[in-house]
Chains A and B, each alone.
Chain A
Amino acid sequence: MDLENCRGIMVYCEIDVCGIIDNSLELIGHANTLKEKMEHYPEVTAVIIGSDVGSLITVAARHGADRVIMMDNPRYRVYRPDLYSDALAAAAEKYRPEILLVGASLSGEEIGPTVAMKLHTGMAAHCVELKIRDDGQFVQVVPAFGGKVLGDILCPGFRPQMASMKAGMVSKRIFEGKVAEIESFDPDVRGFGDRLQVIETIPETRKRVSLSNAELVVTGGFGIGTQEGWDKLEHMAELLHGVSTCTRPALDAGWTDKEETMVGTSGVAIKPKVYLGFGVSGAAHHTCGIKGAGLIISVNRDANAPIFEVSDFKVVSDWEAIVNAITARLEATSAVCPDPDRA
């Protein structure tokens, strides 16, 4: 696309059974933050692809969309990456945004680069920051080597400038009473036709842990060492009414199967009031995802663990001694009589 005729920021809205996912709503909010830095104050356009999804227009508007492109058609009832990519690419071709943002969810990772190819443009993946430089240039900050290094990515010669971002990196914004302009768009997209077919979609039955509203997060790392240790840590987290999360090595060790609670560049970014880390060494992969925490307290046996550098408070100790002590304190205060008849 030529540079001159592209205007506005487009955000792809990913949908699940509950509606537009937080990741997308966050990006709509952030698009407004970018827009406020841009001289020409471009429109923020949300693209909704799905079947029977009219009710989501107000959600997109309330979270900051100036305009909503509705691609509402039964063919989108079941997610198919090729159809969704074709649809989003068609919307971008028609509405010519200068910036196109996609959540770095699993489906976003399929759709984003595919659309970038179709549009012959560049895309920066898993951005940790998206900003407008003083000279007006859109800068996408990406992590490399698991977050050990950050790099600026620019896309000066191609439009739209595409970027993806993990959930939790930026915050949702609420625009009460905002009304968005609505446009229906129903291009004839066919994807790969019958060369790709969905046999079945198997929804996850387990209830997923939500981290977006967690005030206290208790993270266990590889240092926990055993399943028994892990259970002990989770028990303490429950007593604290906190949410337990994990690092990649802890997940790989199989102590927890809650993949959605993996914090870091390949998982989620979190912004709790307090982060409590036990046996977490603090690899950049992980610490990238906790920088939004209000307070970081970490416990590790290794005095030189990198997690300590990014902590407000550090405890050089075996994690278990501290968890035992906290658990004992909490159980002592919350002790209830097991048999009320005795009283």
Chain B
Amino acid sequence: MFEFFNENQVMLASVAKELVEKEIATHAAEWDEKDHCPTELFKVFGQQGMLGVFVPEQYGGAGLGITERSIILEEVARHSAGFAIALMTHDLATAAILNHGTEEMKKTWLPKLCAAEVIGGLSVTEATGGSDLSNQATTIEKNSAGYLLNGRKVFITNSHIANLNIWTGTSGVNEKGRKVLSAILIPPETPGLSAGRKENKLGLRGSITGEVIAKDVQCGPDSIVGKEGKGSAVALHTIGNYGRSGMAAIALGILRASVEEAVKFGNERIIYGNPLSKIPEMQAIIADNQVEYEAATAMLYNATAIYDNGKDAIPKLAAAKYFATEAAVRASRRTMDLMGGYGVINEYPVGRFLRDALANIPSGGTSQIMRVIVAGSLLR
């Protein structure tokens, strides 16, 4: 547990743990195997106040920050990283509206998002790449009724379950002739929006990832999130703060799972008449996992505290996301090594941890992009 959590945060962690153990722990393996997203659980998390926990009370949230959100996501990911990313993504739509939406959007949608009356999605990535925002083929055209949206997004989490969507798309060119991006809110039941192909992922199964297609989707005149032409800022702020803190928190969950499974197996498995954990090499594995978990914890919760204090945390969150997601791969792999043959048997969860850890890396920007951001913050 991070030393500087306040009392409420400590209790939140234990309450979230209890909820996860009751609702998620025993089903996680099955969701992974069947690639099933338990959408009914969104409402449960909504009732517990665990969606949009950073939303002020006036809009139906708990008025806390991304630290608390990360605490919840870490607990969910301890047992199901797949479902954690579904919740994580729902919150991205919430964050985009909260930080960039109109007052009308906030009043209308934030309470519904916090209660999971609608499920949120954020569609940015296109086939040409996720981080290259300058060249989106999706178009947002102004017309007499408001804005007309056309395009195709790929690798979108909650693609088939989100009914409140925020898209980015090219809405024109600036004075230098460069394409500019806008972000637009698409309410539930809007005609023309459909889900396409559903991906069969290596990991983070139990969350749905796929294509979303917009064909002549007519949005109203008040549907732009943020300023027209400033969609990049909406996407970068939301992903940079909420997306990456979320992915790092999910990685923390996997790291902790890797530590705990290693300890459990190490103590239970008897080899040469003694528990496996008596062997120094095995202790080294457990220690390395714990060290990386502690380091990632300190990095993430330091960065989220900075954001929650109203300061810029983008480079620190990028660093935390980079370290934590990579460390989760190393740690789950080590636990697999510790377990020997058992490590690759799907009855044990460690294989899922490794697959989830690997699938976790590209979301919110690859490790290479994270290093570009960290270096960029020093070299500018």
Which residues from chain A sit less than 8 Å from chain B, CB to CB? 302-304
Contact = CB atoms under 8 A, between A and B. Distances in A.
B275 interface: yes
9 contacts: A302-B268, A303-B268, A303-B269, A303-B270, A304-B267, A304-B268, A304-B269, A304-B270, A304-B275
Contacts, number: 9
Top 6 A-B residue pairs of the complex, sorted by shortest distance between their CB atoms: A304-B268, A303-B270, A304-B270, A302-B268, A303-B269, A304-B275
A219 B131 CA distance: 58
Contacts of B275: 304
A115 B68 CA distance: 51
Interface residues of B, number: 5
Interface of B: 267-270, 275
A69 B269 CA distance: 58
Dominant secondary structure at the A interface: loop
Nearest to B275: A304
B262 to A, nearest CB: 15
A304 B275 CA distance: 8
A304 B266 CA distance: 11
A302 B275 CA distance: 12
Nearest to B267: A304
B140 to A, nearest CB: 51
A304 B268 CA distance: 5
A83 B74 CA distance: 55
A303 B276 CA distance: 12
B26 to A, nearest CB: 10
A105 B269 CA distance: 39
A304 B267 CA distance: 9
Nearest to A305: B268
A302 B269 CA distance: 8
B54 to A, nearest CB: 37
Given A303-B270, A304-B268, 7 more contacts: A302-B268, A303-B268, A303-B269, A304-B267, A304-B269, A304-B270, A304-B275
Contacts of A302: 268
Contacts of B269: 303-304
A343 B268 CA distance: 55
A303 B270 CA distance: 7
B33 to A, nearest CB: 15
B286 to A, nearest CB: 17
A302 B268 CA distance: 7
A303 B269 CA distance: 7
